[in-house]
A = this chain, B = another copy of it.
Amino acid sequence: MIIVLKPGATEKEIESVENKVRDSGLQVHLSKGVERTIIGAIGDERKVDAAFFEVMDCVEKVMPILKPFKLVSREFKQDDTVLEIRDKVLGGDRVVVFAGPCSVEGRDMMLDIADEVKRSGATFLRGGAFKPRTSPYSFQGLGVEGLKILAEARERTGLPVATELMDTRDIDLLVEYADIIQIGARNMQNFKLLTEVGKSDKPVILKRGMSATVHELLMSAEYIASQGNANIILCERGIRTFETATRNTFDISALPVLKQLTHLPVIADPSHAAGKSELVQDLAAAAVAAGADGIMVEVHNNPEAALSDGPQSLKPERFASMMKRIGAVSAAVGRGI
């Protein structure tokens, strides 16, 4: 941690900072420049909050040197984390695909879509039983019934199932029915929920919050990992910016940046990023070209009647065409699908 003092800091003030550094279990390294005095605080600064020094009157700014996350960092573990989920592998050479409807709306539609996406080569099923909706008057999901339908779709297709957890009180249900628990973008900093999934050993898809930085996403992953569950899959799904031509702005750079910073697998959700089905195929191809370990897309057999996210859902034919396109691109960048 580098502590920059204000110009004109007195000897007494410098000493008070030095003492506070030592009291925090760090070593002092003093540097007097022409315009500023700088104090290096050497040691494992992750235990100490920068705010602890920023608050001092004589301090101009504090710059952390170490990253605030540890267990999920590439420095902590060099090799890519590879997850085995039932008989599927995530995080290895091949690009995986999660597909399914936004919400489980009923048994027939879910089984129908499950068959379709399996036929086109999907690796995992997705579908929401508990749905975070911005309006209290919108469809909120089928709840437990939705979980049971998902389980049936898994039995039928052999595809493991990912579904969202919204409430700490539902953790046992999710552990029972799902193969992968999803933490949605709006709950990325719901620390109680993170702690709860961290205590289970289920793989967790952690979606990036719409205004979360890459570092904050990794800190939320650290929450889960710090409870003992390192089976984490990060998911870029678009961030909020001033641009309104798309629902969110798909931060494609986050994919290679995350691959540098962490050993965890990283997937991309172009459906939520774009908000429009006609853009999904191009963005999915781009994500694979940029190094994504997987793609998650919404597929619906009748988007015009969908109870949620119709405009961004692919019809099965279009999903099949997307699978071909990302297959070709993943081969071009030296990976299979």
Measuring CB to CB, which residues of chain A are less than 8 angstroms from any residue of chain B?
A: 2, 4, 7, 20, 29, 31, 33-36, 38, 40, 42-44, 46-47, 49, 51-52, 54-56, 63, 65-66, 68, 75, 132-138, 166-169, 186-187, 189-192, 195, 209-211, 213-216, 219-220, 222-223, 226-227, 239-246, 249-257, 260, 273-274, 278-279, 282-283, 285-291, 303-304, 306, 308-311, 313, 325, 328-329, 331-333
Contacts and interface: CB of A to CB of B under 8 A. Distances in A.
A44 B187 CA distance: 31
Nearest to A258: B245
A43 B51 contact: no
A138 to B, nearest CB: 7
A257 B245 contact: yes
Decide if the interface of chain A is mainly helix, strand, loop or mixed.
mixed
Given A51-B308, A52-B310, A285 B289 contact: yes
B250 A243 contact: no
Closest 4 CB pairs of A and B: A211-B211, A55-B310, A332-B332, A289-B289
A213 B303 contact: no
A257 B282 CA distance: 10
Nearest to A1: B33
Copies of this chain present? 4
Contacts of A2: 2, 38, 63
A167 B166 contact: no
Given A285-B290, A333-B329, A219 B134 contact: yes
A33 B65 contact: yes
A43 B43 CA distance: 26
Contacts of A260: 278
A54 B20 CA distance: 31
A61 to B, nearest CB: 9
A210 B189 CA distance: 12
A333 B284 CA distance: 12
B273 A282 contact: no
Contact of A226 (B137, B242, B249): B137
A84 to B, nearest CB: 26
A240 B253 CA distance: 13
Nearest to A259: B282
Given A51-B308, A249-B239, A75 B7 contact: yes
A239 B137 CA distance: 26
B43 A211 contact: no
B249 A253 contact: yes
B251 A243 contact: yes
27 contacts: A2-B63, A20-B304, A31-B40, A33-B40, A33-B43, A35-B44, A38-B40, A40-B40, A47-B137, A49-B308, A51-B310, A134-B189, A134-B219, A134-B220, A136-B226, A137-B226, A167-B168, A239-B241, A239-B243, A240-B242, A245-B253, A252-B283, A253-B283, A257-B279, A282-B289, A285-B333, A329-B329
